[in-house]
């Protein structure tokens, strides 16, 4: 399967990050100086994706503006001979073809994916949740696409989590095929530790086939009227094979305050120009 399109879901309320998300979309919050949505769009582009479809809520146009040309800013940078900054700004709008669809009410991940049905059409595609970032080389999406392509089947990313954390995630039942590779046989949404079929949690990267749209259209809303993606994935696993790929690189959950702060520190320390001044100050803070 050749996958060309990525659907990035960004129509949620971001309540866990209030008050900043009252006006600023959660996906626009930066990791050091780069909005989370850009990091995820870069991951898609570096993985070979040609078109990105953002699912946004009606007010969140800043997400699209970020990927649009900015003629005045670009002219000003050119006049001031800020070549590096100009390249930086221009590279954002050249990442991929950008498209957007609206989700009028945040009725869950499944409902959000369904809004992209016409934009995706009848071809395999990926879904990415921009509040999870993964510091992987090659990019996590590329690794996941390799698994999907090898098997010519949908595949989802899995993270081994602590038993005490299984109740926060969708957890899979799976047969291990080889290192990091699984065939998924079942799924439970937010199980109690004693009922978890494994400690492998579903993370925000999915390679899907277009038949998921039929399943979503016929899905019954669950808790809070939301259409859950997990329920429908189980249907996909039953109809045809669904593979799992275990993530072996650091993950940062930007939708959670502690994860957000940790990502700032980790990504800043990856930059030599910041790391040199930050290290002694962080040591000082830790020892005080
Ligand atoms: P989350 O459930 O983490 O995001 O969804 P949220 O609902 O915005 O956050 P909290 O829990 O209220 O703080 C993961 C991703 O899916 C998108 C969100 O924008 C986020 O990027 N999403 C979620 C949608 O696009 N539509 C939805 O109905 C729900």
Query: What DSSP designation does 153 have?
Result: S
Gap from CA of 263 to ligand 1 centroid (Å): 19
- The pLDDT tens digits for 69-121 are 999 999 999 999 999 999 999 999 999 999 999 999 999 999 999 999 999 99
Domain assignment present for 68: yes
> Does the structure show a pLDDT above 90 at 244?
yes
Q: How far is the CA of 171 from the centre of ligand 1 (A)?
A: 18
Does a structural domain hold residue 262? no
5-42: b (≥16 Cβ within 10 Å) or e: bbbbbbbbebeebeeebeebbbbbbbbeeebbbbbbbb
Q: Are strands 51-56 and 97-102 parallel, antiparallel or unpaired?
A: parallel
Cβ(112) – ligand 1 distance below 6 Å: yes
- Which residues span the domain enclosing 182? 5-255
Q: Is residue 157 domain-resident?
A: yes
Q: Which residues pair with 98 in a beta bridge?
A: 52
Residue 126 covered by a domain: yes
Closest CA to 255 of 6, 47, 15: 15
Examine residue 274 and state whether it is found in any structural domain, yes or no: no
Q: Does some domain include residue 267? A: no
Ligand 1 pocket residue status of 103, Cβ below 6 Å:
yes
Q: Is the confidence at residue 222, as pLDDT, over 80?
A: no
In angstroms, what is the span from residue 1 Cα to ligand 1's centroid?
Answer: 28
Domain count, the chain: 1
Q: Is residue 231 part of a domain?
A: yes
Ligand 1 nearest-atom number relative to CA 17: 13
- Contact between 8 and 37 (Cβ < 8 Å): yes
Is the pLDDT at 288 greater than 90? The verdict is no
Domain at 144, CATH number: 3.90.550.10
């Amino acid at each position: 399967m050749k996958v060309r399109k990525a659907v990035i879901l960004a129509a949620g309320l971001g309540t866990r990050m209030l008050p900043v998300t009252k006006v600023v979309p959660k996906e626009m919050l930066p990791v050091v100086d780069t909005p989370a949505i850009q990091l995820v769009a870069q991951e898609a582009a570096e993985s070979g994706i040609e078109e990105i479809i953002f699912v946004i809520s009606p007010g969140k146009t800043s997400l699209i503006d970020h990927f649009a040309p900015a003629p005045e800013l670009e002219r000003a940078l050119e006049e001031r001979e800020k070549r590096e900054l100009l390249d930086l700004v221009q590279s954002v709008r050249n990442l991929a073809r950008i498209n957007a669809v609206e989700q009028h009410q945040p009725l869950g991940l499944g409902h959000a994916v369904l809004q992209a049905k016409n934009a995706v059409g009848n071809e395999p595609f990926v879904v990415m949740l921009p509040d999870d970032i993964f510091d992987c080389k090659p990019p996590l999406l590329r690794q996941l696409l390799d698994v999907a392509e090898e098997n010519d089947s949908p595949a989802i990313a899995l993270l081994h989590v602590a038993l005490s954390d299984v109740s926060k995630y969708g957890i899979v039942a799976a047969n291990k095929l080889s290192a990091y590779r699984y065939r998924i046989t079942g799924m439970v949404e937010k199980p109690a530790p004693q009922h978890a079929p494994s400690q492998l949690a579903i993370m925000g990267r999915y390679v899907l086939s277009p038949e998921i749209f039929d399943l979503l259209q016929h899905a019954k809303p669950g808790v809070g009227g939301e259409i859950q993606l997990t329920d429908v994935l189980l249907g996909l696993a039953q109809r045809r094979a669904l593979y799992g790929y275990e993530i072996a690189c650091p993950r940062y959950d930007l939708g959670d305050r502690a994860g957000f702060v940790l990502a700032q520190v980790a990504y800043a320390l990856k930059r030599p120009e910041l790391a040199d001044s930050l290290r002694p100050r962080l040591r000082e803070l830790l020892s005080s």
